[in-house]
Amino acid sequence: MSAAQSASPSPALPPALPPAGAIEVAAQVVRQGRSESTQECVAQEVAVSLELEGTPHVVMLATPADLEDFALGFCLTEGLIDEPAELERCEIRLREKGIVLALYRSPGGAARSAERGEVPRRNLTGRTGCGLCGTDDLDRVIRLPEQALPSTPIRADALERAMKELGSRQPLGQATGATHAAAFCALDGQIRLVREDVGRHNALDKLIGALLRSDVDPAAGFVAVTSRASVEMVQKTALAGVSILAAVSAPTQLAIQCARDANLLLAGFVREDRATIYAGASRVQVGD
């Protein structure tokens, strides 16, 4: 008997599981006049209620992954805490119709937030694509750091490298085609952290939460996002202490204004071998 004949057949590999935040559903594919049954991997989208010390604050539609990162990033960028340590506890509670993130802050942090008027409950559900939904006070719409961000320089090819690499660092997006990603990158363009979500603001909040929980200095890199650069994206990046934001799509006029006010370098249309710099252009190094 030959070695080939005596060799045991290779065991069948188990089917690959969907990435976190995805689920398989039954569907029909119609192609060239024929229809066939299939299983499709789709992104999960659930109602996530954030409660502060037992009081409902806002309900967001989000992907149910990296929820502790989401809670920390959201609290910081929404002014509900000033320092990561002020969020003492996050309890994830599963409910029939969604998920509750029960958040408990330190007494000092809760008191300072209340003094600034940052705690009132929002009036609307935060939709998937929404950033400022439910904010009922114009004074809270535009929030930037009290001190200008550092004028960190960067090479143009670092922006391009990060965006190119980000395309292969999105397991949920590759599986479903329905999510955004936000990445924190070193100044040479190497990606350090990535978070994904059906909402671009949620992805960025998750990234900021992960960044705060790590030992990485936010001033030592930049944020790259697979979305447009709306004003909320600029605000969240600046409030996290990151001085450079690169987006695959366009910014808005208000985002550009806020980036300039905060000394944030804002790059849009970062694709392949191009980028458009809307704020901080003097900090971008090109050529050899």
What is the set of active-site residues?
130
Q: Positive or negative, the Cα torsion across 276, 279, 282, 285?
A: negative
90 to 61, 73, 168: CA distances (angstroms) = 18, 12, 31
Measured from the Cβ of residue 104, the count of other Cβ atoms closer than 10 Å reads 15
Residue 152 and residue 219 in contact, taking contact as beta carbons nearer than 8 Å = yes
